[in-house]
Amino acid sequence: MNEAIAQVTDKLSGWWTGFLEMLPNLGVALLVIGLFWGLSRLVKNLMDKVLHRSPVHDTAVPIVSRTLSFIVLAVGLVIALGILQLQEAATSLLAGAGIIGLALGLAFQDIAANYFAGFMLSFRRPIVVGDLVETNGVFGTVSEIELRSTYILTPQGQRVMIPNRKIFNEVLTNFSTNGERRVDVAVGVSYGDDLEKAEKVAIAAVEGLDGRMQDKPVQLFYEGFGGSSIDFQLRFWVKFHKNTDFLAARSHAIKAIKRAFDENEITIPFPIRTLDFGIEGGATLAEMLPRSSESREASGNGARHH
């Protein structure tokens, strides 16, 4: 009994002695943790202020600042464990965190990719709310940008959600970046019309349109011989802020060209189709019609006799 009590007493005494020896290091470790905790708070507050003034999306600001704050605090914890000579514990802690992080990364790979793409879109800002864009087969106005998804309002009034990783990885066309857009109008004139005259009349008709950018000339290029017309494309530029600017300019140009061509007796031909009635040897259609009727009557009589 006395021997057992002595062993317990020796054990407790050893622990107490070890604790007293470790006490200075423990104090230093706690001081380090306190300093790094304060530093992490300082980093968070500083990053909140800096990021709010930057083009980073508001949704991304708290996540970025908290992540940096956590990293600073984790560094302080590792240093404190090293002061306490608990390197093995620190190594195990880092290894466990790495394994957990890898498992979570595999489980939430798509979600993580969307958030990462959201971060990149926030920093690079290729689009902002109100831009007219086309991406992933969707055309419309950007109505909302979140950290995980972007919402586009189509001209038909549909609100389409697109994951940010698809926007980041696929082709993205932003029609609002330059504030201007070219309008292309395809027209055809009759083979019997004077092409030089048609060109001058078409260009003059469009040059007088309201909203056309005066610093960029109207251009016209003949493109080929069509089935019933000689085709050309007329191009001019307009200020572009919304899709209706482009649609209205194209509509006004079509009406102006049609009006000018009518006034100058220039023909925009209808499609021409050649019909083959099986007429041979120079016979006219009028001569062939009675023969065709007689053939049908003979066929009908033959069928009745049978």
Domain regions of the chain by residue span:
2-107, 127-174, 180-263
CATH tag, 2-107: 1.10.287
- Residue 153 confidence (pLDDT): 92
CATH 2.40.160.40 for domain 180-263: no
- Residue 276 confidence (pLDDT): 60
- Number of Cβ within 10 Å of residue 108's Cβ equals 12
Tell me: the pLDDT tens digits for 65-94? 777 888 888 888 878 777 776 656 556 666
**Fold (CATH) for 127-174:** SH3 type barrels. (2.30.30)
25-34, 73-82, 94-103, 141-150, range with the lowest pLDDT: 94-103
Minimal CA–CA distance to 163: which of 175, 178, 147? 147
Q: How many CA atoms, within 13 angstroms, populate the side-chain half-sphere of residue 129?
A: 8
Residue 251 scores a pLDDT above 90 = yes
- Residue 91 confidence (pLDDT): 65
Residue 21 scores a pLDDT above 80 = no
Tell me if 229 sits within 8 A of 161, measured CB to CB. no
Tell me: the pLDDT tens digits for 169-189? 888 988 888 888 899 999 999
Cα separations in angstroms, 160 against 97, 137, 149, 167, 171: 37, 11, 10, 13, 17
The encoded tokens of residue 238 equal 């307009």
Minimal CA–CA distance to 144: which of 167, 165, 161? 161
What length is written for the chain?
A: 306
Residue 140 backbone zone (phi > 0: left; psi -120 to 50: alpha; other: beta)? left
- Residue 121 confidence (pLDDT): 79
- Residue 152 confidence (pLDDT): 92
30-44, 154-168, 220-234, 273-287, range with the lowest pLDDT: 273-287
23-32, 242-251, 291-300, range with the lowest pLDDT: 291-300
**Averaged pLDDT, 252-269:** 93
- Residue 205 confidence (pLDDT): 94
